């Protein structure tokens, strides 16, 4: 199975913050990834070290079996990838999404107090299974179904 984008969600800039019991994310049919920002129009974008939360669909399936809420965006993720062990990606790994977008893994994603409150599980139940935090190295439009490829050192000219 080849890796691909399964879903994309974001929090529009104009949406009012929701109560602390859920993440306010909306599904997208396509998104523009902006270099150094994240998803265009995302109120969570622009942070130099936290532009995208990327998770694996297989991990989400497992977490759902354990009772976690995993509808699009409910785990705080923005992009879900299937066919790849996202949790195992080391720091500085670059991924190409679709034709032009490139992201770089910054660090593993860990839960926070808000995540624990929303999900109703202690953080330690999800440690090592929340995907990665990444930044956008090269922008482009991405869609569910787009291929996801780990870039080699030969590709790293981006």
Q: What is the rounded distance in angstroms from the CA atom of residue 29 to the CA atom of residue 18? A: 23
In tens, the pLDDT along 65-75 reads 999 999 888 89
C-alpha 62 chain-centroid distance: 17
Domains of the chain with CATH codes: 4-12+23-150 (2.40.33.20)
**C-alpha angle with apex 5: 45 to 114, nearest 5 degrees?**
45
C-alpha 121 chain-centroid distance: 20
Contact 63, 129 (CB under 8 A): yes
Q: What is the pTM of this model?
A: 0.91
In tens, the pLDDT along 105-133 reads 999 998 777 788 888 898 899 999 999 99
Indicate whether 22 pLDDT > 70. Answer: no
């Amino acid at each position: 199975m080849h890796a691909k984008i399964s879903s994309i969600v974001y929090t529009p800039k104009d949406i009012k913050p929701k109560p602390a019991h859920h993440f306010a994310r909306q599904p997208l049919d396509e998104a523009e990834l902006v270099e150094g920002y994240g998803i265009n129009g995302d109120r969570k974008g622009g942070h130099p070290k936290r532009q995208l939360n990327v998770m694996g669909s297989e991990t989400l399936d497992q977490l759902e079996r354990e009772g976690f809420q995993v509808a699009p965006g409910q785990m705080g993720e923005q992009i879900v990838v299937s066919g790849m062990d996202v949790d195992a990606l080391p720091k500085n790994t670059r991924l190409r999404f679709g034709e032009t977008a490139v992201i770089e893994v910054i660090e593993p994603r860990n839960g926070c107090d808000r995540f624990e409150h929303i999900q109703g599980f202690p953080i330690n139940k999800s440690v090592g299974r929340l995907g990665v935090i990444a930044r956008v190295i090269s922008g482009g439009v991405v869609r569910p179904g787009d291929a996801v490829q780990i870039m080699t050192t030969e590709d790293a000219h981006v």
